Structure 1
Amino acid sequence: MDTSSLFKIDSSTHFLYRIIDVFILATTLFIASYLYGVTFSRDYLLVLLSLVLLYAYIGESVALYRSWRVGRFSRMLMLLILVHSACFLLIFSLLFVLKEGATFSRVVLLGWYSSSLLALVSWRISAKHIKAWRRRRGLSMQTVAIVGMTKSGMQLHQQMQDHIELGFECIGFFDDRTAERLGQGYKHLLKGSIEQAVEMAQQGKVSKLYICLPMLAERRIADIIQRLGDTTVDVLLVPDFLLKNLMHARIGSVGEMDTLSVFESPVYGIKDFYKRTFDILFSTSVLLLISPLLALIALAIKVDSTGPVFFRQNRYGLDGKAIKVLKFRSMRVQENGAKVVQATKNDPRITRLGAFLRRTSLDELPQFINVLIGDMSVVGPRPHAVAHNEEYRKQVAYYMLRHKVRPGITGWAQVNGWRGETDTLEKMEMRVKYDLEYIRHWSLWFDIRIVFMTLFKGFTGKNAY
């Protein structure tokens, strides 16, 4: 959880965005068909309904509506363009496969795609500028104060300054430390002590109070919250480094008791359905596409050296449960016991063909079968040999949290260069760092992004041998 996640469009705006998008999709199709003189028949209505349903599914799965983050407006527009293009591409492909293309006017469909995309982007940009225009004129502004001139507090203040459309007018920081002990760049913003901030909130002079104190100041935080319990001020707690890096901040319950997740998979409920659907569709498509290549590699392995085509290695899967990961055999040995020696450069155990397969990651292709049966995912932390898990879980902090999601064929660590041999503790720590970052920020869009990055730079690497 980061500071920017504090700012989200409220539920009513979520609903408004969806309604306007559906209205634009429908209206632009009506206009396109009318201008080209095409009768809006039942066939066009079915295509429209199919697109709206597909739009809703993909839009929700990649968080197009659920989480608009501060400072990410350009990324939201890019995501909108990708979702829009993907939906239309799927619809057009389906019409082609079903041989229904002749039923529809290409001019109308292409006009519908371009005009709806232009309208969707334009109204979002307009809404952003209208909000900014209103805020600059002091309309609908909220007066806020920040308790604690900490790193997270300074980042919060900067976000408010950079995004005037949010409507926050920050009067400054309140901290019990003197100006001399604070950073030079921000100490002019120090307006008083924490006690003064509490008094201002009690007097109704601020509408929001952000507490940016470290979690170690538990008693101080509890005191502030208790004293503001009989006021109407909004009190928000900004997590410090520890909580920001460990928790997903999902509130649950056991009976009537509330709980806050700290170590928990981000893929639950409908999210698991989205990810599993993507895995099944993607792995099935890939296996059908590369089946001739798989047969060719299998034949080459049999010709190159004696032994089985596949190597089945014991790995840890979701929740640390044992799975058998499939790989094309690339070595003369099949180490799978309590001690497994990682492959190194010019390793004599690697066959001639195996060296090529490992450099190009072709030895990993059978793992799409693991994905199809549910042991793995297309994207996730790479599964390590059981022996390596047992070794590194004692040396790397939070190592086993990698298993809060299904292991993947490719991952965030791999596309950032942390693949292959981990001959130092630092390399494994970096791999785990990126794996945990992936888990904290998971979304289906993140998976799709990693897949595309893998296509361009994830198959080979200097550490792959």
Structure 2
Amino acid sequence: MGIYRNMFVKHHDSLAIAVRLADVSTIWLAGFLATELRFSPDFAVAAPIHQFIIYFSCVVALIVLPRFDLYTSWRGRSFLSLVARLVAAWSLVWLIGILMSFLMHQAGSLSRLWAAYWYAGTVVALLALRIVTYSLLSLARGVGRNAKHVLIVGFGITGQEMYRRATASRWSGFRVAGIYAGPEDATPESIPRIEDSDHIAGFARKHHVDEIWITLPIGASRQMQSIAYTLRNDFIDIKWMPSLMEFELLNHRMQDFMGMPAVELNRPPSLGVRGLVKGAFDRTFAAVVLTLLSPLLVAIALLIKRGSPGPAFFKQERLGLDGRVIHVYKFRSMKVHTEHETVTQARKGDSRVTPIGAFLRRTSLDELPQFINVLRGEMSVVGPRPHAMAHNDMYKEQLDLYMLRHRVKPGITGWAQINGYRGETDTLDKMAKRVEHDIFYIRNWSFGMDLKIIFWTTFRGWTGRNAY
């Protein structure tokens, strides 16, 4: 197997050049096919600017594509991230080509349909090329070829997780050659164990280790410096994976901050550009729902007014994004009453709940006015449910991660609700389970996850045995 590994290493630069040329050839071929599709059979009507833009963009691609880190090893990295970079890189090349036609005052001669064919065809072709290449490399690594031997230094939570990922994903091409661990850490019997850090360098040389993954705690900086120093003359890649999994926060993403590497520990994934997408979807969805359900909302309001004295709507103070106070709208489901220092959750058979209110609470129809909050940008369609202010003050002292729920906008429905944690939370354990699901949602948020929650809410998120 070492022969194959050395062969891939020896010809890595040649392979990278070959892939670059393949990308440029793909761009040219897609342009030719777009011309064939748009102008066939009379190619004479195709203005010369089309051919110029193709060749010009091929030259630009040789410069731009490498800037998107497309030709370095993607072993162990996300394929979806590679796809995103590839599409972004080609989009930039394409836009530069189109811009050139404007600068040459030839935009009027450029076929918009041809440009669309070329863009879409190139995206499909480049992705197909990457998928084939990625699949072939994964297949080779899966049978032991082109594998990298790694030594894991430290076997705490992070070290164990890296070992699990390396062994579970044979296609990534990593083989654990050894583990350095303290006397208190149990390691797999099938993997050689190193117990003295002075033996790490010798072991790495003897077993031809390609990479060393240091997963020691942050406090072991002196030991890490010593290990790196003893390997200063060896051609071994060293990766430091800070033991951040011990921090029970929202994120562990590395970023460049003022030219220095920084780790974000408490930033939700749903902020930034992705948050803008989520916000745009929320407001559009809320506008559609309020429009379509307006007759139902009017009917419910009339039934409430008829059933008991008082307003059809009422507002509750809740904590919104980053702890800002918002006023959440709901249909009134109880008789008008006053509560002072404590908030009493509705219980089964609660005399304060009106007959129509009981139905509204059981079916969550009392929460439909919260789409107004979503339209105002104060809430999301999907997110942790907002709790009473008194409950926030109480549970933040009893549950360590409770207040992290407020790093995102509260939602009308959420991961906890579709998993059965809806309604009354009369015990600390019930609230702990709800918070656990909320934190899981925040840490693992994606637009697809939101759509999944909305879909399942239709079937099991609007009713529940704990909703009174």
Question: Which residue of the partner structure matches residue 280 of structure 1?
Answer: 283
Mapped to 1, the partners of 2:389 and 2:348 lie a distance apart of 22
1:365 counterpart (364, 368, 373): 368
- Report the alpha carbon displacement of residue 379 of structure 1 after superposing the two structures with TM: 1.1
Cα 1:136–1:413 shift into 2, 3 Å: closer
- Alignment-derived partner of residue 189 in structure 1: 191
SS of residue in 1 equivalent to 2:459: helix
Spell out, residue by residue over 1:70-123, the C-alpha distance to the aligned partner (whole angstroms, 9 max, x if none). Answer: 7999xx8xx99xxxxxxxxxxxxxxxxxxxxxxxxxxxxxxxxxx999999987
Q: Decide whether aligned partners of structure 1 residues 137 and 258 sit closer, same or farther in structure 2, where only a CA change above 3 A counts.
A: closer
Given that residues 314 and 336 in structure 1 are in contact (C-alpha distance below 8 angstroms), is that contact kept between their aligned partners in structure 2? no
Contact 1:410 1:451 in 2 (8 A): yes
8 Å Cα contact 1:305/1:351 also seen in 2: yes
- What CA distance in whole angstroms lies between the structure 1 residues aligned with 2:358 and 2:466? 12
The answer to whether the 8 Å contact 1:331/1:350 transfers is: yes
Higher alpha-carbon deviation: 312-321 or 169-178: 169-178
Mean Cα deviation higher: 376-385 or 233-242: 233-242
Cα pair distance change 1:124/1:340, threshold 3 Å: farther
User: After superposition, what is the alpha-carbon deviation per residue over 1:295-341, rounded to whole angstroms, capped at 9, x for unaligned?
Assistant: 11111111111110111000011111110000000011355654211
Q: What are the equivalent positions in structure 2 for 1:62-101 lying under 5 Å apart? A: none
* C-alpha distance in structure 2 between counterparts of 1:24 and 1:454, whole Å: 47
Q: Mark the CA change 1:385 to 1:137 in structure 2 (over 3 Å): closer, same or farther.
A: closer
Provide, for residues 396-427 of structure 1, a one-character-per-residue CA deviation record: whole Å limited to 9, x for no partner. 10211111111111111111211111111111
Q: Deviations over 1:44-72 (max 9, x none)?
A: xxxxxxxxxxxxxxxxxxxxx9xx99799
Larger Cα-atom Rg: 2
Counterparts of residues 336-415 of structure 1 (less than 5 Å): 337-415=340-418
Q: What secondary structure sits across from 2:450 in the alignment?
A: helix
Q: Which of 149, 168, 179 is matched with 1:162 structurally? A: 168
The answer to whether the 8 Å contact 2:250/2:442 transfers is no
- In the TM superposition, residue 392 of structure 1 has moved relative to its aligned partner by 1.1
- Quick check: 2:157–2:245 contact (8 Å CA) kept in 1? no
Counterpart code for 1:189: I
1:176-212 alpha-carbon deviations (Å, 9 max, x no partner): 438xx725xx123124233322445578932221223
Q: Deviations over 1:267-321 (max 9, x none)?
A: 3331221111111111111111111111111111111111101110000111111
Measured in 1, the distance between the counterparts of 2:412 and 2:129 equals 39
Matched, 1:446 2:463: no
Partner Cα distance (2:375, 2:24) in 1:
36
Give the corresponding residue for 1:208: 211
Whether 2:253 is the aligned partner of 1:242: answer: no
Flag the 1:396–1:223 CA change in 2: closer, same or farther, 3 A.
farther
CA RMSD of aligned residues (A): 4.5
The aligned residue for residue 309 of structure 1 is 312
Counterparts of 1:460 and 1:22, CA distance in 2: 53
Task: Give the conservation status (yes or no) of the 8 Å contact 1:417–1:461.
Answer: yes
Cα 1:334–1:196 change in 2 (3 A) is: farther
**1:318 aligns to 2:327 (yes or no):** no
Distance apart, 1:351 and its partner CA: 0.6
Change in Cα spacing, 1:26 to 1:366, as seen in structure 2 (3 Å) is farther
Q: Which residue of 2 aligns with 1:456?
A: 459
Contact 1:201–1:231 (CA under 8 A) maintained in structure 2? no
Q: Please, which of 288, 293, 297 is the counterpart of residue 290 of structure 1?
A: 293
SS in 1 for 2:384: coil
1:217-260 deviation digits (Å, cap 9, x = unpaired): 5554454456556765231315364236553324353x566542
Distance 1:355 1:312 in 2: 18
Using the alignment, how far apart are the partners of 1:443 and 1:400 within structure 2? Answer: 21
C-alpha displacement at 1:154, in angstroms? Answer: 3.8
Distance (whole Å) between structure 2 residues aligned to residue 137 and residue 392 of structure 1: 52
Q: Is the 8 A contact 1:24 1:120 kept in 2?
A: no
Aligned residues: 387
Higher mean C-alpha displacement, 363-372 vs 116-125 = 116-125
5+ unaligned residues in a row in structure 2: which ranges?
Answer: 1-15, 41-45, 47-69, 85-120
What SS does the aligned partner of 1:189 have? coil
- Would the alpha carbon gap of residues 463 and 262 (structure 1) be closer, same or farther in structure 2, given more than 3 Å must change? same
- 2:431 maps to which residue? 428
Distance 2:232 2:458 in 1: 53
Displacement of 1:139: 4.5
Aligned equivalents of 1:243 and 1:310: distance in 2?
42
Contact 2:383 2:409 in 1 (8 A): yes
Q: TM-score, normalised by structure 1?
A: 0.69
> 1 or 2 for the larger relative contact order (CA 8 Å, sep ≥6)?
1
Aligned match of 2:178: 172
